[in-house]
Amino acid sequence: MAEASGPEPSWPLLLPVAPMAEDWLDCPALGPGWKRREVFRKSGVTCGRSDTYYQSPTGDRIRSKVELTRYLGPACDLTLFDFKQGVLCYPTPKTHPVTVPSKKRKKPSKPAKDKKRQVAPQKNEVRKETPKNETKTATAASPPSLPAPGCCENCGISFSGDGTRRQRLKTLCKDCRAQRIAFNREQRKFKREGCGECTACQVTEDCGTCTTCLLQLPRDVASGLFCKCEQRRCLRIVERSRGCGVCRGCQTREDCGRCRICLRPPRPDLRRQWKCVQRRCLRSKHGRRRGGCDPKMTTRQRSPRAQPLPPPPPPQPPESPELHPRALSPSSPAEFIYYCVDEDELQPYTNNRRQNRKCGTCAACLRRMDCGHCDFCCDKPKFGGSNQKRQKCRWRQCLQFAMKRLLPSVWAEPEEGPESPPPNPRRKRPSSTRRPRVVTTKPPLVTPASQEHCAQTPMKQEAGSSFVLPPPGTDLVFLREGASSPVQVPGPAPAATETLLQVKQEKMDTPEDWTPGTAILTSPVSLPGCPSKAVDPDLPPVKQEPPDPEENKEEEHKTHPICYSAPDEEAGGAGTPVITEIFSLGGTRLRDTAVWLPSLQGRQSRKEAGRKVWKTKNTLAPTSTSWKPQGWRGTHAGLSPPPTPIMWVSCRRSWCPSSQS
């Protein structure tokens, strides 16, 4: 029998004579950390009866409802709490579960619509008095078992779910879910700000001896906790990555074979491997330790090698394989500029919140039909999907916006009026104003205009001899393809230059698989001051419809160059600006790049981080493996799922001569 917590103090003296017959089980109905166990009497006239005991998160033990009431205080209404079963009973639909004083329970906001949809059925079928035998089966006197269908994994009560289409990884009733969310939210706050009450939060000065202090990590990095003095990290932060080890989930040794995770096909290509639902920790926490931070963070902090800090410009570039350009870049000689964008730089686009992803003019925006093949389309109900991702068709996601995000310095030229994003993202540019599609297949040309532009707008700075800093005001890293390091940039500027945007489909780790080709991103995403190229008549016809991802995998490696374009119907003829060649560079590239970018490191709030994720994910990275290209290996550390049509943008252009001197 596994005891959930440490030595038993005086408590055993109060126990019935009969030995404990059951393990401690979580009792989420009372809140995180509460445990319950049921003991069957094995002798005497009451043999067969059971006694129920509870243990509070602090280890206090309660053996009766009266004790529990006393323990929780008068503010806590236990009338709905079934002490014997350890569940909340809802004789009427409007009642609320017991409130544990130490836990603030917030109801997640629900849209009115959802309430309308969900509350009604609950009134009839949910929160009714839980049948005792059913509850007993679910909560006690049985080995760890699956919750019955429609039963909350935590409290075991039956409920109707929160929607017919929703598939949640964890089957929780409304209250348990709210409780869980509130708990997680609270934990975030503790990590971010601390509780302000614990002894650690009262400490006002760094200890000077912990790893964080010794390494003098900047204080504005990451979540705030990350580089906070270990002695000042809120003690109310609980670990949860490894599980508590004692709950039913943690003690389950084998996959259930029945849950959603077990039933779905294995996804070894995914970096994130999902755990059987039945094996997940029900408490999501275990022993609190001094410092109280996430163990993963601790690990990183204690390992200088794993420091997340942006490395200073090294005299000798590190040879980290993950950051090594040879592992990331194509082999053909070219130069690539990787941009990462701060949110501020996108202000004109982000002001308009839900409309800020549409330029209204690019081929993608002009496309009216979903492709029906991409992962997002497949997710749509109209294509038979489950509406879980709820994202716009890959082929309809604004190209201009992606470019804007990736090439802010290029877009920021106010005098480039016609090429600037329209003030109203929804406004569609008349087709007559569109520039003709310009396509090329040849290496870039040197043009005075482009060089002039570069001279006017220095695009890079060199720090030392090998490190290139982003231009002022941008998060920009210059990489030279084939260089030995992402931060190693050759001195003399290459002769060839072009304001040529390449949207490349990456074959991670396999430079030989790259399809070095050409891509012209024409108006409206052409670079100011840099000429477009002439159309190459030899260019193969542009594909008009995204092929089936799977079918496309082979073909896209046979054909070259790869030319993606909106379908005829959408492209509006020759005038539609089109990205004619797309290489999908994994979002990893952006993340890896971010490692080199001090301005992207650490100082982002979660919200900002979320936006960055959006950049990498929603615009640049897939959320599905359905677009896994040939050559994708997925073993590269930090790899995101395989690419989709628009994954990354690199810009081939010359080094600014003015910055070379």
Partner DNA sequence: GCCAACGTTGGC
Span 547-606, contacts to DNA by CB under 7 A: 587, 591, 594, 602, 604, 606
Contact letters for DNA, residues 288-327 (x by CB under 7 A): --------------------x-------------------
Among 48, 163, 287, 418, binds DNA (CB under 7 A): 163
184 binds DNA (CB under 7 A): yes
Beta strands in 271-353 (DSSP E): 335-340
CB of 584 to DNA, least distance (A): 13
CA-to-CA dists, residue 474 to 344, 366, 458, angstroms:
10, 30, 11
CB of 180 to DNA, least distance (A): 5
- Choose between 14 and 169: whose C-beta lies nearer to DNA: 169
Residue 71 or residue 274: which is nearer to DNA going by CB? 274
- Residue among 82, 187, 194 nearest 130 (CA): 82
Secondary element (H or E) of residue 147: none
**Three-state secondary structure of 338-356:** EEECCHHHHHHHHCCHHHC
Q: Tell me the site size for DNA, rule CB under 7 A.
A: 79
- Within residues 259-278, the interface with DNA by CB under 7 A covers 270-275, 277
Q: Could you say whether residue 136 binds DNA (CB under 7 A)?
A: no
Residues between 24 and 53 that touch DNA (CB under 7 A): none
Alpha-carbon 272 to chain mean position = 11
Residues 602 to 661 in contact with DNA, rule: CB under 7 A: 602, 604, 606-607, 609-614, 616-618, 621, 623-624, 638-641
Decide whether 558 or 607 has the Cβ nearer to DNA: 607
CB 286 within 8 A of CB 272: no
Q: What is the dihedral of CA 595, 598, 599, 604, to 10 degrees?
A: 60
14 scored as a contact of DNA (CB under 7 A): no
108 binds DNA (CB under 7 A): yes
**Using rule CB under 7 A, residue 518 touches DNA:** no
Q: Tell me which residues in 340-359 interact with DNA (CB under 7 A).
A: 350, 353-358
Cβ at position 460, least distance to DNA in Å: 24
Quote the DSSP letter at residue 475: E
Going by C-alpha positions, the residue among 101, 118, 91, 109 that lies closest to residue 58 is: 101
The type of residue at 213 is C
* Whether 369 contacts 570, CB under 8 Å: yes
Stretch that binds DNA, among 43-51, 70-78, 380-388, 476-484 (CB under 7 A): 380-388
Helices and strands (H and E) in the chain: how many: 22, 13
Q: Is 637 helix (H, G, I), strand (E, B) or coil?
A: coil
Q: Token pair of 406, please? A: 């990736």
- Rounded Cα gap, residues 38 and 139, in angstroms: 9
**CA 588, 589, 590, 595 torsion-angle sign:** positive
Nearer Cβ to DNA, position 230 or 498?
230
Binding status of residue 370 toward DNA by CB under 7 A? yes
110 binds DNA (CB under 7 A): yes
Q: Does 174 bind DNA (CB under 7 A)?
A: no
Interface with DNA, residue 497, by CB under 7 A: no
CA 159, CA 171: separation in Å to the nearest integer?
Answer: 10
Stretch that binds DNA, among 137-145, 220-228, 468-476, 643-651 (CB under 7 A): 220-228
Q: Does 489 bind DNA (CB under 7 A)?
A: no
392 binds DNA (CB under 7 A): yes
Rg (CA), the chain: 29
Stretch that binds DNA, among 80-88, 184-192, 455-463, 561-569 (CB under 7 A): 184-192
DSSP annotation of 454: H
Quote the CA–CA distance of 204 and 456 in Å, as a whole number: 48
Q: Which of 390, 427, 442, 560 binds DNA (CB under 7 A)?
A: 390
